[in-house]
A = this chain, B = another copy of it.
Amino acid sequence: MNAAPRKTTAPATAKDREATKRRLIEAVGRVLARQGFQAVGVNTVAREAGVDKVLIYRYFDGLPGLVAAFAREGSFWPDLDELCGGDHQAFLALPFAERMSLAVRNYLRAVRSRPLTREILAWRFLEKNDLTDALDTARAEAGAAILALAGQGVDRTDVDLPALHVVLGAAINHLAVRQDREPVFAGLPLDDPATWERVEAMLDRMVRAVLGE
């Protein structure tokens, strides 16, 4: 795209357009992390980047475009390696219940360890608009991939696996997002690591119980 500051063609890079674009994209992340998605607006992001807001329109055709670029940039969602523990072969060698249990635990930990991901999750959760649409594609793909891998070579007609995925995913998403907002849920302190060990144990127990140990 660029990287040709000299000679023929490439009339851009007068004052480094790409650097400015990067500053804007990074500013989105900082605002999102520090002030939450409510604060993600043209004015705030531009101020954070130390750049004029009009450049958001010129370079990204508006805030949704900038957010889309931001979404393309970062690794907000766990990839397959992370979810299956790094080794696909070893993962596939496990019994099905074991596989599911591991993937669930890794998904929980992955979401919990990504503040920006939790913020995006909450965002998408309650605002359906141009901005959040941009962030959703990557997640949908990641989700589908892990389900496909976990269920690979398995034929369990006795269990409604999609329904199981929905319930587990919903519980994890809710708790992860909730952790940032309200530290107590149904009497348990979500800011206490011990609580999360109990939740992990419970998820594990549920998966095994439903899948028949």
Contact = CB atoms under 8 A, between A and B. Distances in A.
Contacts of A145: none
Contact of A167 (B143, B147, B202): B202
Copies per complex? 2
A174 B170 contact: yes
A168 B169 CA distance: 11
Interface residues of A, number: 46
A169 B181 contact: no
A126 B127 CA distance: 10
A171 interface: yes
A173 interface: yes
Contacts of A188: 162-163, 166
A209 B169 CA distance: 19
Nearest to A144: B187
A206 B210 contact: yes
A164 interface: yes
Contacts of A122: 125-126
Contacts of A144: 187
Interface in A113-170: 122-128, 136, 143-144, 147, 160, 162-170
Q: A interface, by DSSP: helix, strand, loop or mixed?
A: helix
Interface string A169-213: 111111101100110011110000001001101110110011000
A99 B172 CA distance: 24
Contact of A166 (B166, B173, B175): B175
Contacts of A36: 126
A128 B205 contact: no
B126 A125 contact: yes
Interface of A: 36, 38, 122-128, 136, 143-144, 147, 160, 162-175, 177-178, 181-182, 185-188, 195, 198-199, 201-203, 205-206, 209-210
Given A124-B181, A128-B182, 17 more contacts: A122-B126, A125-B125, A125-B126, A125-B177, A126-B177, A128-B181, A163-B198, A165-B186, A166-B175, A166-B185, A166-B199, A170-B172, A171-B171, A202-B210, A205-B210, A206-B210, A209-B210
